[in-house]
Amino acid sequence: MQYPEPIAKLIASYMKLPGIGEKTATRLAFYTLGMADEDVKDFASALTAVKRDLHYCTICGNITEDDPCPLCKDASRDQKTLLVVERSRDIMAMERMNEYHGLYHVLHGTISPSAGTGPMDINIPSLIERLKSHPEINEVIIATNASLDGETTAQYLAKLIKPAQIKVTRLAHGLSAGADIDYTDEVTLFKAVQGRTEM
């Protein structure tokens, strides 16, 4: 027996989300069916608003309603330091920490030869233009993930930026609290040793 078309379409829509298989999509579709009409309207409105009202900041590439974004407009932030991240959600993680008060730049991905993504396919050209037009920036902190693609991107950026006499640093990656060394991958262990501090 097949589901009625509206349910089948909703299941198919949920399955387009990352990590959502058919069983989870079916459960979500039937949960949606049981929701109050007003909640469904609010949910649909939120989906529409995300696509309609959000865009990328023309300076840093972060998602925003206003251009430039609030972080770029904030004159109290350290204008000499620029932290480069892969995705907008990485900025939220850094801001929750409340320890970094400089500027940001979002790459919207990484250099990935296996996926056919090169430097011109992500937000690198605007980063270079930004550094040229803002000579007060004297440090670029590369905060890409400790994956093969993240490391490739970090190395590429360092080689590109260092000739401009700008200090390039990398966030230390290492063992998380409570991690067992024997269950830790080689890249993480290498970064843990490389980023070690004196006790």
Domain of 140, in residue numbers: 70-193
CB 63 within 8 Å of CB 121: no
Average pLDDT over residues 67-95: 95
> Rounded to two decimals, what is the model's pTM?
0.81
Residue 181 has pLDDT above 70, yes or no: no
Highest-confidence range of 21-35, 144-158, 168-182, by mean pLDDT?
A: 21-35
Q: Residue 167: enclosing H or E segment and its boundaries?
A: strand 167-170
Q: Are residues 49 and 77 in the same domain?
A: no
Q: How far apart are CA 35 and CA 44, in angstroms?
A: 12
Instruction: Report angle CA 61, 67, 68 to the nearest 5 degrees.
Output: 70
Q: Are residues 74 and 161 in the same domain?
A: yes
Q: Are residues 131 and 40 in the same domain?
A: no
Q: Are residues 86 and 112 in the same domain?
A: yes
* Token representation of residue 179: 């991690």
Domain containing 88 — which CATH number? 3.40.1360.10
CB 149 within 8 Å of CB 121: no
The domain tally of the chain equals: 2
